[in-house]
Amino acid sequence: MASISDERRPEPESFLDLEPRGQKGRLKIYIGPAAGVGKTYRMLEEAHELRDRGVDVVLGFIETHGRVETDRKVGDLEIVPRRRISYRGVELEEMDVDAILARRPEVVIVDELAHTNVPGSKHERRYQDVEELVQAGINVITALNIQHIESLGPLMKRVTGIEVRETVPDTFIARADQVVDVDVSVEALRERLRQGKIYPLHQVEQALRNFFKPSNLASLREAALREVARGLTRQRRDAEAVKREGGLRPRVVERIMVGLSSNPAESGGLLRKASRIAEQLSADWYAVHIETPSESVKKIRTRDFVTLLDNINLAGDLGAETVWLQSSDVVKAMLEYARDNGITRIIVGRTHQPWWRRMLRGNVPMRLLKEARDIDVEIVADYTGEEQP
């Protein structure tokens, strides 16, 4: 069974030997570029290894997708029975969070992190189930594919042509104590697909021509490796900073502000870009919307208002503090807020307004460049949020 190489594989006990975080449990995330690379299999391997070392470990939720090797690997590991939920006349199964809390193991294995739970479950999303387990002091080992990370949505759509609807917030990924890449070569993965080890045989040819094209898989592999490298860099940087400060968290130096466009449909990609920049700089960041009299909530279309609220929620998921201000002068309000709150960098997108509207209202990015002499201003080239892999 293909999995990460021994050279790159951390020892199971290294996860449990991490520095304690008060009463919270620890979180380990396996990330892979696609289905079938061996994430579930690797978690099961680790569960057996931990149990052999005397660790109390259970399977909270495992999805084998009928793969023979993965089914066999479950073996005699303890499984917490799933909760049965009736929905629209059909009985479905979900992870039983309360049963795991009552059992209180040292480590629980949770598959399919990006899963949306059936209505009537304790939480809407599985990552929220995991958050509760970690908060209760239970260590969690979980897994997801790279395309389910929220801020990578636009890149994933460009690479694969598929819009991913089940995503996990970047803030959740950033809290992980360990992020580990699980990968195989492109051709090895395509061969597993041909052998029917990932999808049923009648789906293989279509998958090979679409999602599992070599070019797609190469881009996804690189994105997964970059995400793991980013996590390792963040952990090392945080540890070094805490050491320098004598055990205390260092003061944040950079503060970033991103302007939410008056056209809210264009803001999603801008927010994702800002979140990646903020993470790279270890910066606090703020998503600021300026409501002008001509674009008050009473005047904009309901569809635009709903989209604006969705983007505000997205900003929160990505780790931003959201701010809603009212002013007749967008640039003046942004600069006043920036100076009052120690903002060091402002990120805005290029305006897509027609020339006559820019003449009447002024070009916000150009005015910011001219008037924010004491603050760096970055104009993002487009609103797609697409990073080059």
Domain ranges across the chain: 12-244, 255-380
12-244 falls under which CATH superfamily? P-loop containing nucleotide triphosphate hydrolases (3.40.50.300)
Q: What is the CATH number of domain 255-380?
A: 3.40.50.620
State the helix-helix crossing angle for 330-340 and 364-371, rounded to 10 degrees: 40
Please tell me the least confidently modeled range out of 21-30, 85-94, 102-111, 340-349.
Answer: 21-30
Q: Is the pTM of this model over 0.75?
A: no
175-215 pLDDT per residue, tens: 898 888 888 888 999 999 999 888 888 899 999 998 899 98
Rounded mean pLDDT of 264-287? 81
Position 315 scores a pLDDT of 85
Instruction: Report the DSSP pairing between strands 139-145 and 57-61.
Output: unpaired
Position 376 pLDDT exceeds 80: yes
Query: Residues 285-312: what's their mean pLDDT?
Result: 81
Q: In this predicted model, what pLDDT tens digit does every residue of 98-113 receive, in sequence order? A: 999 999 999 999 999 9
Taking residues 328-343, what's their average pLDDT? Answer: 90
Asked if 12-244 and 255-380 have one fold, the answer is yes
38 near 182, Cβ under 8 Å? Answer: yes
Q: Are 44 and 62 in contact (CB under 8 A)?
A: yes
User: What span, in angstroms and rounded, lies between the C-alpha atoms of 173 and 143?
Assistant: 11
Residue pair 348/318 in contact by the 8 Å Cβ criterion:
no
- Tally the residues of the chain: 389
Range ranked top by mean pLDDT from 122-126, 231-235, 279-283, 316-320:
122-126
Q: Which residue has the tokens 């809290």?
A: 175
